Structure 1
Amino acid sequence: MMRTLTAVTAASILVAGCSSAAPSPAEPTSTATCAPAPAPDMTTPDGWIGFAAERPDAVSFAVDDGLGHTAEHDADTPHPLASAVKVVHLGAYARAVADGTLNPDERIPVAEWQRWYAPGTDGGAHIAALNRLGVANDGTSPTDPAATVRLDDMVTAMVRESDNGVPDYLRYRLGDDAVRDAAEAGGWNDFTPPTLVGVTLGALDATVDTDDLWSLAQRFAFDADFRATYGTTARPRDETELLSYFDRFGPTGTAAELARFHTAVADGSYGSGVDTVRRHLEWQDPPADAGFVAMGFKGGNLPGVLTHGFEFRRADGAPAVVVWLNHDLTAAEYESATTNLTQHQSLLLEAAADPATVGRLACIS
């Protein structure tokens, strides 16, 4: 059995129980009149602002409430994205459905999905998805070899549980050009398609060829003998090596690039397939008091990395987008960040709805 990579959760961060204040008429604070930052404390939304002010090297963000209030910090520097990158694969799927290349009602053998699953590397996301979709399993594999799922339901697992196998399945089936084109449709140029399975497999073996992780993922998927033995004797990386590895070889991009993609979804400029992208991303309702009629979200986490991408739509069509990338977090910071996740998300929801919060974020340098 493959060694469990306990440091990697790679799970989507679900918005649950978050609330946001109603929009405030206050204007953003100018950078010339910035108040002192709050004390850093991840247990409150204000404390998250304090953390960003104290550790600006560990944070990048792009905020636009769609009403003329914006804030950016280190938004054009590439950083790890973790599973937040899966919105691009969702775009590729949606465009393929729109042009008839894929049928969302196609029945996919669960065995075809399962071949892209590396046990012990995804924080339980794949099995959680099987359970939600009613696929009987033993905690590792489906128990019915003839089981099938709708392709569209498979895609829900990529967004909701953050299953890592689905984006690689879609990449393999559609090809790299389709993934690149999907990124470009959202204003994200020169996108390099990642392999979510390959990068986690590579983390198990410090001697793996990191220049060709996609070949590693495909060999794992289609070579049964290799799959049966991979990771059983390989030397795992220590914590420092893991952090460096995911920084170098995991999915990367800038806050500005991810924000442009979410903006194209929110304002409809994404074009072909945008309704399908929205249907999958916007499966959770926005806070009732924040002034939005829809909210889309995809986040992710890896050792030292916690990422969020939000898009919101108002009744009049005005969008709001908030992208926040935490990276290079110490082990203690990462534990605190994931433990106090809802407080971080509350800050981001406030940034979308409250111009004064946008102004406070604009003070971070």
Structure 2
Amino acid sequence: MARAGRATRTAAPVALLALVSAGCTGGSEPGSGATGAPSPPAASPSAVALPGTPVGEAAGWVLDQLAAGAGPTPEEARQRFSPGFLDQLGATPVAEVFDGLRALGPWTPTAFDGSETEALLSLATGSGTAYRMQVVVDADGVIGGLLFTEDTVAGREVATSWSEVADDLAGLAEETHLLAARVEDGACVPVDPAAVVAADEPAPLGSVFKLHVLGAVAAAVEDGSLAWDDELVVTDDVRSLPSGELQDAPEGAAVSVREAAGGMIAISDNTAADLLATTVGRPAVEAAVTALGTEDVSGLVPFLTTREVFTLGWGAPALLERWPDADVAERRQLLAELPSDLGGVEAADVTTPVWQRDVGWRASAEDVCRAHVGLQELAGRPGLEPVREVLAENPGLPLDEDVWDYAAFKGGSAPGVLAASWYLERADGEQLVLVAQAADGGAVDQPLFFAVVQDALGIIAEA
């Protein structure tokens, strides 16, 4: 049972218009309004200024519409929202959905975190209940995703022990896994018995699998078959779906191995990962899976590209039906039978969890810990220094620079799946690894998951 003040996995979105996120392949179950009595009005919060980026301007337009008495008109909706977004709404006019949201207003943005095309806003309302708004736009500012959810992070009780972290994770999903370990002589040693939850059981990884692709690239550089400054070419047959940026690159665009590796890790670029994986070859990536210490390779062999996962999971139902019971050889044959055009799958189609059917990538938290340690060992070899640089480009969450001298991060998501992993070097010389995984038949609360993981980072800082 969750402690008082803690959110449980029963929380659901208040209004789902459509979420097609370039940074995440996961979706959320639709909801139909807040439940329970409204909170008493609070003092008027201060609004933060929104940036003049495409997503900032789109978020401002949404909030302006909610402040208005009516709208948007059908014509305004067609101009502002993508066809895929409007298709998901079906016969429901955007104005009707906005009317339901206006009843909770006024809406005031109190925090903004985002890039040029994706943003997460914290919102205060007239009812006193806090919400979050996720917005995704294309390069022209057309809205392809808009999601309002009750803010399950605001006012939550911070976990201060490993048992509390484990309890909080357990409240988020059907399956949860946790490992906080100290690196001793190249081995992952738990910092506390309570910091180990099903850490030896293979579990969905989301994009954490890209650590193994990086390992294969490093091995190819070391044996001389590849160089960091070699140019790779983006083609339609390797182009994948978001997250990332390379999926929007024109046919024939060139990118260096180093640039592709950086994008694969820092912004989890799926097309970059597939470009690298196909360049070194599936056998090389599968060899890296073993070389990086994976004990049970069955969840990573055959090693799938993101394009294959999208096609198999959401574009080839007949092949998907055969996949769970197929052995390795049969699965390789099924991959050869996949349609070459992604099966017509678009980002908006990637909503239903398929991890239960063994589609994707699986490894244990212990395996992920060993992969991080193995990559750092590779990075210490001549010519492989970029491995360490690439892994540190995106720290994942805010980290105290007075505590940590170095942080390598890789996270991942898919429908019903969230994962996060860090290799950390503390100022006192300690090397530590934190891995958290969650998988559910529905959506996993991403902000709450990372709030719990942020608590874990605070605890491991003092381990």
TM-score, normalised via structure 1 length? 0.67
Matches within 5 A, 1:150-161: 150-161=256-267
- Name the residue aligned to 1:324: 436
Matches within 5 A, 1:174-323: 174-191=280-297, 192=301, 193-204=303-314, 205-208=316-319, 210=323, 211=326, 227-228=340-341, 230-231=343-344, 239=352, 242=354, 244-245=356-357, 248-266=358-376, 268=377, 272=381, 275-284=385-394, 287-289=399-401, 291-315=403-427, 317-323=429-435
Is 1:173 aligned to 2:291, yes or no? Answer: no
> Structure 1 residues 168 and 327, CA, compared in 2 at 3 Å: closer, same or farther?
same
Matching residue of 1:86 = 210
1:161 CA drift (Å): 1.9
* 1:350 maps to 2:452: no
- Cα distance in 1 for residues equivalent to 2:350 and 2:243: 22
AA aligned opposite 1:354: E
- Cα distance between partner residues in 2 of 1:180 and 1:161: 23
Aligned partners of 1:202 and 1:213 also within 8 Å: no
Hey, what does 1:125 align to over in structure 2? 243
Deviation at 1:349? 1.7
User: Which residue of the other structure, out of 119, 142, 155, is the alignment partner of 2:249?
Assistant: 142
Deviation per CA, 1:132-191, whole angstroms, max 9, x where unpaired? xxxxxxxx6434x55322121112121122122333333333233322332333222453
**Given the superposition, is the C-alpha separation of residues 154 and 265 from structure 1 closer, same or farther in structure 2, using an over 3 Å criterion?**
closer
In 2, the alpha carbon distance for the partners of 1:15 and 1:299 equals 17
* 1:264-320 Cα shifts (integer Å, max 9, x gaps): 345x37765763321111114672355221100011011111001110113454211
Structure 1's 171 and 215: CA in aligned 2 closer, same or farther, altered over 3 A?
Answer: farther
Describe the shift of the 1:264–1:15 C-alpha distance in structure 2 as closer, same or farther (beyond 3 A): farther
Amino acid at match of 2:403: G
* Residues 51-60 or 96-105, more deviating: 51-60
What is the rounded CA distance, in whole Å, between the counterparts of 2:372 and 2:181 in structure 1? 11
Once residues 182 and 243 of structure 1 are traced to their aligned partners in structure 2, the CA distance between those partners, rounded to angstroms, is: 22
| Partner AA of 1:157 in structure 2 | G
Q: Is 1:104 the counterpart of 2:228 in the alignment?
A: yes
Q: Is the alpha carbon distance of 1:229 and 1:53 closer, same or farther for their aligned partners in structure 2, counting shifts above 3 Å?
A: closer
What is the CA distance between 1:243 and its match in structure 2?
5.2
Structure-1 residue corresponding to 2:29:
none
Partner of 2:237: 115
Q: What letter corresponds to residue 198 of structure 1 in structure 2?
A: E
Unaligned runs of 5+ in 2: 1-17, 27-112, 116-151
Secondary structure of 2:317's partner?
coil
Structure 1 CA distance, aligned partners of 2:287 and 2:341?
35
Letter of the 2:393 counterpart: W
Unpaired stretches in structure 1, ≥5 consecutive residues: 17-40, 131-139, 221-225, 356-365
Partner of 2:178: 61
**Amino acid in structure 1 at the alignment position of 2:225:** T
Letter aligned with residue 206 of structure 1 = P
- Does residue 339 (structure 1) correspond to residue 443 (structure 2)? The answer is no
TM-aligned CA deviation for residue 125 of structure 1: 2.0
| Code of the aligned partner of 2:178 | F
Q: CA deviation at 1:84?
A: 0.7
Q: How many residues align?
A: 293
Deviation at 1:100, TM superposition (A): 1.3
The secondary structure found in structure 1 opposite 2:267 is coil
Shift of 1:102: 0.5
Q: Separation in 1 of the partners of 2:361 and 2:342?
A: 26
Instruction: Give the Cα–Cα distance (whole angstroms) in 1 for the partners of residues 332 and 273 of structure 2.
Output: 12
> In 1, Cα distance between the equivalents of 2:207 and 2:243?
12
- What do you get for the CA RMSD once the two structures are aligned? 3.7
Residue type at the aligned position of 1:259: C
The residue type paired with residue 163 of structure 1 is D
CA contact (8 A) 2:406 2:425 kept: yes
1:186/1:270 contact within 8 Å kept: no
- Superposed CA offset, 1:312-351 (max 9, x none): 11345421100111112633xx2xx223454234123213
Secondary structure at the aligned position of 2:407 is classed as strand
Going from structure 1 to structure 2, the CA distance change for 1:287 and 1:238 (only over 3 Å counts) comes to closer
Contact 2:307 2:342 in 1 (8 A): no
Instruction: Find the structure with the greater CA-based Rg.
Output: 2
Q: Alpha-carbon deviations, 1:181-202, whole Å to 9, x = none? A: 3233322245322332211111
* 1:90–1:15 CA distance, 2 compared to 1 (3 A): farther
8 Å CA contact 2:233–2:252 kept in 1: the answer is yes
